[in-house]
Amino acid sequence: MNYQNNLSVESQLLKIFLRSQTKDYSSTEIEAGKEILSPEKPQQTIYFSLQGIVKLSRIDCTGRETFVGLLPEKSFVGLSLLLNKSQSKYCAIALTPVTLISTTVTKFQQKMQKSPELWTPIFYKLLSRSLTAQMTIESRLLRTSEARLVAFLLVLCRDFGVETDEGIKIELKLTHQTLADLIYSNRVSVTRILGQLQQQQTISIARQQIILHNPSILRQYFAIPSYSSM
Amino acid sequence: MNYQNNLSVESQLLKIFLRSQTKDYSSTEIEAGKEILSPEKPQQTIYFSLQGIVKLSRIDCTGRETFVGLLPEKSFVGLSLLLNKSQSKYCAIALTPVTLISTTVTKFQQKMQKSPELWTPIFYKLLSRSLTAQMTIESRLLRTSEARLVAFLLVLCRDFGVETDEGIKIELKLTHQTLADLIYSNRVSVTRILGQLQQQQTISIARQQIILHNPSILRQYFAIPSYSSM
């Protein structure tokens, strides 16, 4: 498990951003359900979330929304603007109330030029997010809704999992409808699958939070690839 | 288009690695079809490809191979070892003859600690690769083989595309069978779709290299999301 490592990187980033906040950064509160970034409102802003969960998606040219990922607190939003100063094609929505600090692309670049050692934690953050994206790719290739749902729960363990005596608890309150949207299934199927998994005692749910009692057995049972960092 | 930007990052990386080669790095030639990394032969090595194309895939617990991506020359292989010193679950195979320089995870970390400014090009490299992975996720969600193939060709434009008078040429020789494997289709379908696209004059093929005459029209026609960095 890689939680320890991730946590130390996150606290390092938090310190960096908070230290600079008085001069270059401003903090904003966003209500649940509200937009942070949208392709329709182009901006040159990079965000860092201090609290709350951000849902990333992309809108294709027919207007269809494709879910890309859930970002835990202490995540960057808009880093891709560094590659190309044009508009971001991401849509970032606050899934819960979110507190953000922000800076402009130009100020961010100036700061990184002055203090190149700050790239280290940002690099590790991005590397971790890349692995999550990779797992998401693979989870979508699974044929059954059961396997896709279990694989997605295992992906969520990476960012939201907390080790407890009973297993890995996903510290995230998701309705069955939201889970269904995230794995391209429907609410009825998700309710049925979660019910079956509970009956088999492979998971348990308390206050909308899911505990995976034995992730490695779940992975083997559903033939889900395992990651070195899980 | 982002080719300029990518190229300058790549040449910067190349310089860094070549400069250090005499002391910490050793160069290896790998024949086409041979393995570079495999979960069965765990190692603590990070590679940087000087020449040639590397195919990344992952093997799940049932032995099924999942294609993850094609890495152009001047790519890192094994960066994920930095997150966790355990075994890498990737399988990296030389698609063409590949020349690699390599270093151990420990030496890489020591070097980066001494020269943190080297994180800058590595970060940009990883950011670009993350966007490619994101596009791959989305291309796999498309319902028809036609759309998945076109979306995959557009992904290849990012890493292998060269602007010509006729359009974007993908500088990569791929057989129809390889393309079929990469988009989870079959050779017969790929041959049929490429034939149709040639008839419609949206693409042309010369010596196994595909030219996309108007990527943005293709994208709209197949309802493929566009990226700011494309």
Sequence spans of domains, chain B: 3-138, 145-221
Q: What is the mean pLDDT of residues A184-206?
A: 93
Q: B 113-172 residues with CB below 8 A of A?
A: 116-117, 119-120, 122-124, 126-131, 133-134, 136-138, 140-141
Contacts of A89 in chain B (CB under 8 A): 225-228
Round to whole Å and give the CA distance between A19 and A92. 25
Answer yes or no: is pLDDT of B151 > 50: yes
Of A109-118, B11-20, B91-100, the range with the highest mean pLDDT is B91-100
Higher-pLDDT residue of A220 and A70 is A70
> Is the Cβ pair B58, A138 closer than 8 Å?
yes
Which range has the worst mean pLDDT, A3-12, A81-90, A106-115, B40-49? Answer: A3-12
- The band of A12, judged by pLDDT with boundaries at 50, 70 and 90, is low
pLDDT of residue A136 exceeding 80: no
A119 Cα distance to chain centroid: 20
Whether residue A198 is predicted with pLDDT greater than 80 in this model: the reply is yes
Residue of A86, A134, A223 with shortest CB distance to B61: A223
Each residue of A31-65: pLDDT tens digit? 999 999 887 777 788 888 989 999 988 776 666 77
Question: Does the pLDDT of residue B2 top 50, yes or no?
Answer: no
| Distance of alpha carbon A205 from the chain centroid | 21
Cα A29 to Cα A11, A41, A46, B31: the distances in Å are 20, 18, 15, 55
Contacting residues of B for A57, CB less than 8 Å apart: none
Q: Measuring CA to CA, which residue among A229, A58, A227 is closest to residue B68?
A: A227
Chain B nearest-CA distance from A5, in A, is 8
Chain B interface, mutation test: which of A37, A137, A230, most B Cβ atoms within 10 Å? Answer: A137
Lowest mean pLDDT among A123-127, A190-194, A197-201, B150-154: A123-127
User: For residue A5, what is the nearest residue in chain B, using CA coordinates?
Assistant: B83
Check if A87 contacts B (Cβ < 8 Å). yes
Q: Does residue B102 surpass a pLDDT of 50?
A: yes
* CATH 3.40.190.10 is held by the domain B145-221: no
Residue B68 in this model has a pLDDT that exceeds 50: yes
CATH of the structural domain B3-138, one choice from 3.10.620.30, 2.60.120.10, 2.30.30.40, 3.50.50.60: 2.60.120.10
Q: Is A86 on the interface with B (CB under 8 A)?
A: yes
DSSP state of A229: T
Interchain proximity A127–B5, CB inside 8 Å: no
CA–CA gap between residue A17 and residue A25 (Å, rounded): 8
Q: How many degrees, rounded to 5, is the angle at CA A66 between CA A60 and CA A1?
A: 145
| Chain B contact present for A4, CB below 8 A | no
A133: closest CA of chain B, how far (Å): 7
Distances (CA, A) of B19 to A90, B25, B79, B109, B149: 38, 10, 20, 17, 40
What residues in A contact B66, CB-CB < 8 Å?
138, 141, 225
Nearest by CB to residue B88, choosing from A86, A117, A228, is A228
Q: What is the ipTM of this complex?
A: 0.75
Indicate the pTM of the whole model. 0.79
* Residue A209 contacts residue A160 (beta carbons within 8 Å): no
Asked if residue A92 lies in contact with residue A80, where contact means CB atoms within 8 angstroms, the answer is no
- Give the range with max mean pLDDT: A176-190, B50-64, B77-91: A176-190
Mean pLDDT of chain A: 81
Measured in Å, how far apart are chain B's first and last C-alpha atoms?
5
Is the pLDDT reported for residue A173 higher than 60?
A: yes
- Mean pLDDT, rounded, for A109-133: 82
Q: Dihedral through CA B36, CA B39, CA B84, CA A114, nearest 10? A: 20
B209 or A62: which carries more pLDDT confidence? B209
pLDDT band at residue A1 under the 50/70/90 scheme: very low
Name the E strands within A60-217: 65-71, 76-77, 90-94, 98-104, 161-164, 167-170, 203-206, 209-212
SS3 category, B117: helix
- Give the residue-averaged pLDDT of B166-170: 94
Number of cross-chain residue pairs from A and B with Cβ atoms under 8 Å apart:
149
Give the per-residue pLDDT at A210. Answer: 95
- Rounded CA-CA distance A145/A133 in Å is 19
Q: How far is C-alpha A56 from the chain's CA centre?
A: 8
- pLDDT at residue number A24: 53
The first and second tokens of residue B30, run together, are 């790998």
Cβ <8 Å between B223 and A119: no
pLDDT digits (tens, 9 = 90+) for B188-207: 999 999 999 999 999 999 88
Contact B89 A133 (CB under 8 A): no
The SS3 call for residue B28 is: strand
Backbone dihedral region for residue B52 (phi beyond 0: left; psi -120 to 50: alpha; all else: beta): left
Q: Given strand A167-170, what is the order of strands in its sheet?
A: A161-164, A167-170, A209-212, A203-206
Question: What's at A100, amino acid-wise?
Answer: L
